[in-house]
Structure 1
């Protein structure tokens, strides 16, 4: 999901960034280890967590 900031001049590092949305199936919750794995994958292949 692309996001853009109106404060590009003040914060150039966040002029544009992407977010990661994790949808959980109904009645089931991700463990902390599973979420860490997803975040590690995003750090390697995505634009990083913001």
Structure 2
């Protein structure tokens, strides 16, 4: 069910592929950063509780 893209098929499909890869990269980087920041915040909370 793919539309006929004619002579631009390569450009369009490669653009879609690059876009999907970049979106996946952004999601992965966001999740990785979220995990690191959550870990840092838990460490800070642990220090505050032990000093408080």
Shorter-chain TM band: 0.3 to 0.5
What TM-score comes out, normalization by structure 1 length?
A: 0.35
Rg comparison, structure with higher value: 2
The structure richer in strand per residue is: 1
Q: Which structure would you say has the larger RCO, counting Cα contacts within 8 Å and 6 or more residues apart?
A: 1
The structure richer in helix per residue is: 2
